[in-house]
Each structure stands twice: as C-alpha cells, then as structure tokens.
Structure 1
Amino acid sequence: MTESGAPSTNGKRPRRRAMAAVAVLAAVIVLAAGFLINEYRSPAGEPVAATQGAPSPGLGSPVPTLSAPGSAAPSSSVPSSSAKAPQASLGKTTLDAAGGFPGPGNTGVPSGTQLSAYSGPCTVTRNGFEVTGKIINCDPFMIRAQGVVIRKSLVKGTLTTTEATEFSFTLEDSEVSAGMWQGPAVLSTNMTIRRSNIHGGATAVTCAANCDIRDSWLHGQLIPDNVDWHLGGFLANDTGDGGRSNVTLIHNTIACDAKSNNSGGGCSGNINLFADFGPVSGVTIRNNLLGANPDISYCLYGGATAGKAHTSGVRDIVVEDNVFQRGRNGKCGGYGPVTSFNSGLPGNRWKNNTWQDDGKPVAPAN
C-alpha cells in the first residue's frame, strides 16, 4: 500500500529586491510569501509546495547560526564547512564530497514537492508500507511493521518504533517536527535516516539499537521554563540486539541549540553516549559537524561517563574526521568539546577530529 503525492515544477522561492525606494514593501512581500510556502498547510488537504528543509512556522524550530571556516564568530544560518553558503534553488542542493554539511538547503522535503494530507493509519502494521509526499498529522506516528518507508513527507509529531522488536523504518528526504515534549522527535530501534530535517522534542533522535543516520540535520530542541529537562541532538543510552548499540552517524549536522531555561534545564550535548541502561558499543561517528552552543555542557559525551551502570561494557566507539565548531567561547560547549571518551577501551578509536575555524586537532578527553 502506498500514499503518494505528485511532484511540482513551480515551487519557486520569493526573492528580495535591493531597491531602496521599495525596501519596506519588498520585505513585507518576502515575509508573507515565505510564511505561506513554509506553512505546509492547505484547506481540505489539497497539495501545497514545500520549500527544502525550511521548518514550519509556529512549530518552534530555530535555524542554528553556525560559524564558517576561518571565523570564530557566527556568519551564516546555513551549517556548512564551506565559507560560501548553499544557494537557494528549486531542486535539492547536492551534498558535495568536499564536505558541505547538511542544513536547511539540502535536507527535508525537496523544493517543489507537492504535499497532500495523509489519510492512512497513525499506527502502521503492514510490512513494506510506503508514504510519499504527505503531511502526516499523527503524534505519534507509530511503526509496528518491518520495512516501512517515509519519503518526501512532513511528520507533524513524533516518529517511533518499539524497542527490542524487529519493527523498522526508513526516513528519506523528509521533515519531522515533534513540537515541545519531554522526549525525542524520532526513536527508537531499527531506523535508517537519509537527508532529513529533524527538530523539536527534547532530543532529535534517540536510538536503542541499529540506527544508521546520514546526511541529515538534527537540531531545534524545545524546552519550556520551570522544568529541568535534559536535551540533546542524538542519544544512545540503552542497548538491544545482544547488548550492542550498532549506531552509525555519518555526515550529519548535529546541534543541541536550545538555551538553558530558568530552572537549569537545557542541553547536555550534541551527541550523548551514556551507559545508563546498557553498555553503549558498536558506534561509528564520522564526518559530522558538531554545532557550538555555550549553553551545552560538552559537544560530545563519549560513553565512558563515570558512575553510569554499564560503563564497564563500553567498547568499539569510533570517532573520526568530525568537525567541531568553537563558538563564542572557543570551546564548542560550555566546558569543552568532548568528555568521557576513553581511548583505552577495546575497539575505541579517536582520529582526525578537528576545529572548524583552523583545522587544529581536537583531543579526546575522559
């Protein structure tokens, strides 16, 4: 069974005109048009054109300001390893081999895709079920089947499987907007994610076991005042499948970009490996951009945090070729770029991780 939408070739973005005499009018037109395009809403579920990777207004997904190489200060809203930000276009911006990182221009629903209302079940139980080009108003969108595919769609809610099962899904060229709640936007087992824009919730993605995430943008966590929530970009703190995490994070932009609130709640780290409920192991973290935020503790927790119940079983964590932003304080996080990575554990490897601005090495720390 499939839910499909038809592609469009006329989803053009508005452009500002640099004419001083009409500056105010032009700004009003651009803002109004951008709002209408990015809302992803239409009466009676009629198709609307999507703009590549742009968070829907009102869903609380701020675009993080990330620094370009050679500058410690933020210079662009587009996370990129190139000083030149990706240009807006009708089609998807290709993720180039030179190291351009995922962001609003190359993740999420491709520009020009026609989205229409999803009318299928909010709990999927049919193996091989596919959804394409839909606005999915399900919270949660629950996967209780194998081989489910969500493609070129907007999920307005959480997307989840059940831990320690064989249920599985693939999320491609899509956006998940979870809104504000004390949990992850996407979880928990047997997931494959490609070129997707994931925001909302307290954590963008939580993985219990068997998660392969590439070319995606994890960001935009949400927290209200008067609560002590712990936020993150990616979290692995449990295990399935014989005690191994089996996590692959390759070529993503991962940022916990929320500010701390009035109760001390806020971001722990961008990537959080904690041996709370099982020994985190079998993790590959390669060629990712880790966004700076002085309100997070560290940009990376490496699995060997003292006092955790299963730290003794942590092993086979490979962290290589990643790029750390320095941010305003020059340390990526409030205390530093990394903690709790033990190079002496079996199979652990730290190699060629660098600062974005000058290419100098980032050393592991435990």
Structure 2
Amino acid sequence: MIAAVEVNGPVVIDAPDVTLRDSKVLACNADAIVAIRAGRPADGYNADRTRVKNNLLGCSGSPEERADRGVSDVYGSAKGLVISGNNIWNVSNGITVENDGLVQGNFIHDLGHRPGDHHSGLSTHGGASNVIFDMNTVLLSQEAVSAPIVVYSDFASARNVSVSRNLVSGGSYCFYGGDTGAFAPAEGHIRFVNNRLSLVYGREGHCGLYGELTAFSPDHPDEFGNNVWDHDLRSPFP
C-alpha cells in the first residue's frame, strides 16, 4: 500500500494488488498521472486489482501543461480495478478503464484544454466489459469536448457497462452509448440509469452542446431510463 504521500511526477503501477490512497500526485506534461499497466507479463506488467482511492490527482501548471489522463488503464487489460473518491483536474481525460472495473464517487472538473482536444471525463475505448461508472461528478465545459461519460467501441465491442447515479454537465453530448467506432454496434447490456444532467456549462435546455445522448442503440438488450435534469427532475428524453 502507498498511502498519505505527496508526489511531484506520475505514478506507474505494474504489480498486482497495489493500493494508492489518501495522497497528492501532481504531474504535468505526463501521459497519465496514475498509469496502471497490465496484460504484458513478458515486460512484468500485471497490475490487476489496483486500488486508487481518495487522492488528489492533477497538474498545478497551465492548461498547456496538463496531463493527458488522470488515471489510465494503459493497455486496456487490467482487471478488477477500483478507482474511487478521487479529485481529478487539469487533465485531458479523467479516467479510462476497460475490464471488470468499478469507478465510483470521483470528482472530475476543470479539464485543461489545448486546441484540438476532445475531452472525456470517464471513458472506455474498446472492448469494455463489466465496467461500472457510479455516483461520479463530471463537470465539463463545451470547449471541443466529447462527453462527460463515453462508451466507445474503437478497438472491440463494448458489453456489460453500467452508468448510474452520476451528475454530469457540458460536452458535445452527455453520453456516448457504445455504438461508435470500428467495432460498433456494441454487444449489448449497456445501461444508463438514474443519472442527473446539469445545465451548468450547458446551453439552455441541454447538458450537451448537440444533445444529451448519441451512439446508443435500443435494438440491443440495453437500458436507458430515469435520467433527469438535476434542477427539476424532469426527463429531457421522450
């Protein structure tokens, strides 16, 4: 366990069953503030079951110096990750996970924007399986961003992803629903339920610049329900 430390520079986790908690990690101009590497045993990378909990993860510099990611499953192969209770700022993307991961109770805000950036708060990028995004707060602006929460199928189809009880704002859309990328459509069981959409940073009537939801197919065994505006609990969806 690594606990109650202050680090100026990125943290790289290669071993299994490591916990980083109650610490402050500042890393500018880094690929990831916390890089979790697994799936390449020949290189000694086997960071399954990593826990990243209750940390301050950011960059103290200008947006031009921001880190690319707050917490990153670098090779998309780490299993059993728990990323919870972290305060993440001045990054391009907040948290990326792919396999058997729980991402819960994180606060992602004040992303560092460079020209050409397409930001996301919480993301999967291909082959996501058994991922839970629950009770996170993701506050984005609308400056060249994708969405607070994105499920992409860039490298393989997503399946069994649950997005629940999150508070989100900003973005081109509030959510990307898995049917996008080279391996779309998603394989199914993509759930967006009980989320709240904030008008803070959003254009009037929308959490996202172009709408609330995109790349989501009701033809799969997916679920989308009880997602409401935070200020009056009305649903923006038919």
TM-score w.r.t. the length of structure 1 is: 0.55
How far residue 287 of structure 1 moved from its aligned partner, in angstroms, is: 0.6
Q: 2:156 aligns with which of 278, 285, 293?
A: 278
Aligned: 1:233 with 2:99: no
Aligned: 1:187 with 2:88: no
How far residue 220 of structure 1 moved from its aligned partner, in angstroms, is: 2.2
Q: Do 1:163 and 1:208's aligned partners in 2 also have CA atoms closer than 8 Å?
A: no
AA paired with 1:284? S
* Equivalent position of 2:14 in the other structure: 144
* Equivalent position of 2:43 in the other structure: none
Runs of 4 or more, structure 1, over 6 Å off, are none
Matches within 5 A, 1:146-165: 146-157=16-27, 158-164=33-39
Give secondary structure in 2 for the equivalent of 1:312.
coil
* Equivalent position of 1:89 in the other structure: none
Aligned: 1:131 with 2:2: yes
Q: Which has the larger share of helix?
A: 1
Q: Do 1:145 and 1:167's aligned partners in 2 also have CA atoms closer than 8 Å?
A: yes
AA paired with 1:312? P
How far residue 181 of structure 1 moved from its aligned partner, in angstroms, is: 4.4
Q: Do 1:205 and 1:235's aligned partners in 2 also have CA atoms closer than 8 Å?
A: yes
How far residue 137 of structure 1 moved from its aligned partner, in angstroms, is: 1.9
* Equivalent position of 2:135 in the other structure: 251
AA paired with 2:182? A
The 3 A distance-change label for structure 1 pair 131 and 164 is: same
Give the greater-gyration-radius structure (CA): 1
AA paired with 1:219? H
Q: Do 2:131 and 2:160's aligned partners in 1 also have CA atoms closer than 8 Å?
A: yes
Q: Do 1:236 and 1:245's aligned partners in 2 also have CA atoms closer than 8 Å?
A: no
How far residue 354 of structure 1 moved from its aligned partner, in angstroms, is: 0.9
Q: 1:210 aligns with which of 100, 106, 122?
A: 100
How far residue 159 of structure 1 moved from its aligned partner, in angstroms, is: 0.1
Q: Which has the larger share of strand?
A: 2
Give secondary structure in 1 for the equivalent of 2:185.
helix
AA paired with 1:288? N
- Alignment root-mean-square deviation, CA: 1.9
Matches within 5 A, 1:75-86: none
Give secondary structure in 1 for the equivalent of 2:145.
strand
Matches within 5 A, 1:98-113: none
How far residue 198 of structure 1 moved from its aligned partner, in angstroms, is: 1.4
2-structure distance, mates of 1:182, 1:136: 14
Q: 2:167 aligns with which of 289, 296, 300?
A: 289
2-structure distance, mates of 1:246, 1:156: 30
TM-score w.r.t. the length of structure 2 is: 0.83
Q: Do 1:193 and 1:213's aligned partners in 2 also have CA atoms closer than 8 Å?
A: yes
Q: 2:211 aligns with which of 329, 336, 343?
A: 336
1-structure distance, mates of 2:18, 2:223: 34
The 3 A distance-change label for structure 1 pair 328 and 312 is: closer
Aligned: 1:173 with 2:54: yes
Aligned: 1:201 with 2:82: no
* Equivalent position of 1:63 in the other structure: none
2-structure distance, mates of 1:145, 1:304: 33
How far residue 182 of structure 1 moved from its aligned partner, in angstroms, is: 6.4
Provide, for residues 110-163 of structure 1, a one-character-per-residue CA deviation record: whole Å limited to 9, x for no partner. Answer: xxxxxxxxxxxxxxxxxxxx1111102232x11010111111101112101125
The 3 A distance-change label for structure 1 pair 182 and 315 is: farther
1-structure distance, mates of 2:146, 2:186: 22
Matches within 5 A, 1:110-125: none
Between Structure 1 and Structure 2, how many residues are aligned?
A: 216
AA paired with 1:352? N
Unaligned runs of 5+ in 1: 1-129, 261-265
1-structure distance, mates of 2:126, 2:192: 19
Unaligned runs of 5+ in 2: 28-32, 41-45
AA paired with 1:171? V
* Equivalent position of 1:267 in the other structure: 145
Q: Do 1:155 and 1:177's aligned partners in 2 also have CA atoms closer than 8 Å?
A: yes
* Equivalent position of 2:235 in the other structure: 361
How far residue 356 of structure 1 moved from its aligned partner, in angstroms, is: 1.1
* Equivalent position of 1:318 in the other structure: 191
